[in-house]
Structure 1
Amino acid sequence: MSERVINFGAGPSALPESVLNEAAAALLNFNGTGIGIAEISHRSKEFSAFLVETEGLIRTQLDIPSTHSILFTQGGGSAQFSAVVLNLLARYRLLHPDQDDAVMDYVLTGSFSKKAVEEAQRLGGARVNVAADARAQSEDGKSFNNVPSQYSFSPDPALIYYCENETVNGVQFSDDVSSPTSFPFHLLPQNALVPLVGDYSSSFMSRPITRLTDHAVIFAGAQKNIGPAGVTILIVRKDCLVDVDAAAKLGAAPVPCTMSYKTLADSGSMYNTPSVLAIYISGLVLRRSAQLGGVQYYQETNTKKAAKVYAAVAEGEARGVFRGKVKEGHRSLMNIVFDVVGDEAKFVSGAEAAGIKGIKGHRSVGGIRISLYNAVTEEQTDTLVAYMKSFT
């Protein structure tokens, strides 16, 4: 087998080698059963116990209270663009059976929140209000390079969606609530159960979730920081586990059983066969995370890694070889984006010759994207930084 390279890909992304080795052994024999993890029944006592353990690892490391359920499902973040609309419109219908003027608020900060807006508009059932559009604050009026500073939330929305970290555009809300680039929790409607939806697909388990208990739904595809593609993790406040069939009788859109949060919760995430292998590898990653110190450990190390790469970008800007894309103070710790002023293909090919892969920007925006997910080490980051400094 050829030597492994350094993987800065945006997802599916790098996983810890120790986890890969353990998972490889379990492909032949999971937990002493004599059956591989990709073959074993999801209803076996061994896997059922592992699923409970994995849920507990998430709950403990993120300090999730009993007011919220943890669910495992499929379809990635894109499926949740639909599911959050259907479930929270059902909730709204049950709360307001005689109202036909529901509105959904969206904060638009990049490619994935744009996809979420488009899916909400496609599904219909309520008016979509773009409560903030970051493009309005960019120099050209069309770039996603900042966190908005002006918001217009509705007084009683069915949901309020935001994407905490934009994987494509490299924009992230600050976790310091006193920062002007933090999410504006203080502007939300002042009722006890705000229907706030946080898309954490590319930052989940990389640092604590700011004001987690204020969220109605948090969702994340696993394939960035905690596992392979195939499983999506949800944190759902229990008042959002609603009877979607009862809501449909009142006029809400029918919700497929596999997308109903209540169905998922009532079945222990086993209404249908879950992504057994993806959950297993995610559980191994979460075990390792707990041993290292959890999200607090990763917040510290990810901050160090990002500081090194941003310093290298700034040094390259001074030399005239790089150009940053995101305003300072609005930049992601997870996905660092910049342009190569000269020969981008030369930069990419030189990196690959040095054993560095996965750095090309998303096809929709081009440029370079360095994804510093949890499994990327400081030593690997230093190798990248040395290459960046040597590039001419």
Structure 2
Amino acid sequence: MSDRVINFGAGPSALPESVLQEATQGLLNFNGTGIGIAEISHRSKEFTAFLAEVEGLIRTQLDVPQTHSILFTQGGGSAQFSAIVLNLLARHRLLHPDLPNDERVMDYVITGSWSKKAADEARRLGGGKVNVAVDARPYSKDGKSFDNIPAHDAYSLSPDPALIFYCENETVDGVQFASDASSPSSFPFHLLANSTLPPLVGDYSSSFMSRPIPRLADHAVIYAGAQKNIGPAGLTILIVRKDCLVDVDAAAKLGAAPVPFTMAYKTLADNVSVYNTPSVLPIYISGLVLRRSQQLGGVKYYEELNKKKADKVYAAIKEGEAKGVFRAKVKEGSGSQMNVVFDVVGDGAEAKFISGAEALGMKAIKGHRSVGGIRISLYNAVTEEQTDVLVAYMKDFLAQL
């Protein structure tokens, strides 16, 4: 294993080495069956028992109430941009069958590239109109960047929307909602006070299992791709409130758009996530990661660890800003603990920073192609010791200038 590097990639991301080693055994012989996990039937008693264990590990560590189902599917967050629209518009149609489409509203909180793409998909699919409840760009330093979480008084939510969408952590832009309810950059849950079953949808793809989810029970749907904190690409995890497991065919008879079987939440729930073949191998590796997480102390353990890691990197950026070498991309208080983004100032300085890091075995730190700069992803599997190597390099880089 000596040729492995430190992977700061935004996803697919680093996984614990102990899990990867354990998974190699399962590839040959899963749970003593004599069949590898990539070969075994998804309907075998051994795999369905493991799937139930994975569900239990998520439910226990995130304290998911019995009012919500935990489902496993494919397609990542991008597929859920479509699925949430189709399922929650179907629910809204059943609740309000006579409401015309131009009065059926979907609220979107746009704080970065992914929430913008989600809103674009909702407009493309139709069936209701998109209300931008808040757009972070007018509140940015330059009036056009995603560099902040807007204050609570900037939001304008609709009275009875079909859904309210937000992306908890924007992987590209490096902004994240604060978990502390007293922070001005937290999600304004108090604006949902008049609704007993708010249609709140949270995209947690890049922060899932990194810390507790505030007001989880108030969410209609939470979803996450596995490939950031808990497993390989190919698995999407859903937490769906049971009132959102609606009969989409009944809604279609009332005028809602038909929903493909594999995207209908009720289909997934009724068939215990095995209506069709799920992502068997990613589920297996995710289960191993979740077992390890539980042994370490779950999301509370990672919340403390990830804060320590992020605080160290942000402190190094501040040191670099004082010297005119680094420039933070995100306003203070809105920065992500998962994806720390900054610029290296000066002609050729960014390329020099990246090549120097790679020479020391630190890979995948270049920012997203749409925004450039540097992006350091500090997912659960990135250790504090690995983070310290990066911080030491950042300080050495400053000292050489």
Deviation at 1:121, TM superposition (A): 0.5
Match in the other structure for 2:276: 272
Say whether 1:99 aligns with 2:99: yes
**% identical equivalent positions:** 81
Distance in 2, matches of 1:138 and 1:37, equals 48
Residue 137 of structure 1 corresponds to which residue in structure 2? 139
Q: Does 1:181 align with 2:185?
A: yes
2:335 to 316, 331, 335: 331
- Contact 1:165-1:332 at 8 Å conserved across structures: yes
> Conserved in 2, the CA contact under 8 Å of 1:231 and 1:275?
yes
- The one-letter amino acid paired with 1:313 is I
The residue that corresponds to 1:252 in the other structure is: 256
The CA distance in 1 between the partners of 2:300 and 2:126, in whole Å, is 40
Tell me how far apart the structure 2 counterparts of residues 41 and 139 of structure 1 sit (CA, whole Å). 53
Cα pair 2:141 2:147 within 8 Å, conserved: no
Q: Which amino acid aligns with 2:253?
A: K
State the Cα distance separating 1:188 from its structure 2 match.
Answer: 2.2
1:292 aligns with 2:296: yes
State which of 317, 320, 324 in structure 2 corresponds to 1:320. 324
Mapping 1:115-134, distance limit 5 Å: 115-134=117-136
Match of 2:77 in 1: 77
Give the conservation status (yes or no) of the 8 Å contact 1:145–1:327. Answer: yes
- 1:24-173 equivalences under 5 Å are 24-100=24-100, 101-149=103-151, 150-173=154-177
State the match for 1:6 in structure 2.
6
Q: CA deviation at 1:2?
A: 6.1
Aligned pairs, how many? Answer: 392
Local SS of the residue matching 1:361: coil
Letter in 2 for 1:67: T
Structure 2: runs of 5+ lacking an equivalent: none
Offset of residue 179 of structure 1: 1.1
User: Residue 148 of structure 2: SS of its match in structure 1?
Assistant: coil
- For the aligned residue pairs, the C-alpha RMSD in angstroms reads 0.8
- Work out whether residues 156 and 189 of structure 1, in 8 Å CA contact, stay in contact via their aligned partners in 2: no
Distance 2:193 2:211 in 1: 26
What is the deviation of 1:81? 0.2
- Secondary structure in 2 matching 1:328: coil
> Is structure 2 residue 355 aligned with structure 1 residue 349?
yes
TM-score after normalising by structure 2: 0.97
The alignment status of 1:204 with 2:174, answered yes or no, reads no
Q: Post-superposition, which runs of at least 4 consecutive aligned residues in structure 1 deviate over 6 A?
A: none
- How big is the shift at 1:189? 5.8
Distance 1:46 1:386 in 2: 46
SS in 1 for 2:28: coil
Aligned residues of 2:28 and 2:35 also touching (Cα < 8 A): yes
Unmatched 5+ residue regions in structure 1? none
Q: CA deviation at 1:322?
A: 0.7
Matching residue of 1:364: 370
Q: 2:393 and 2:142 mapped to 1: Cα distance?
A: 32
Q: Within 1, Cα distance between the matches of 2:294 and 2:215?
A: 21
Cα distance in 2 for partners of 1:157, 1:32 equals: 50
User: Residue type of the partner of 2:155?
Assistant: Y
Alignment partner of 2:300: what SS? helix
User: Counterpart of 1:366 in structure 2: which amino acid?
Assistant: G
Q: Does 1:232 find its partner at 2:232?
A: no
Amino acid corresponding to residue 74 of structure 1 in structure 2: Q
Aligned equivalents of 2:63 and 2:313: distance in 1? 30
- Is 1:390 the equivalent of 2:396? yes
- After superposition, the C-alpha distances for 1:93-136 in whole angstroms (9 at most, x for unaligned) are 00001111200000000000010010000001100000000001
How far residue 71 of structure 1 moved from its aligned partner, in angstroms, is: 0.2
Alpha-carbon displacement from aligned partner over 1:196-243 (angstroms, at most 9, x marks no partner): 000000000000000000000000000000000000000000000000
State the TM-score, normalizing by the size of structure 1: 0.99
* Equivalent of residue 377 in structure 1, options 383, 395, 400: 383
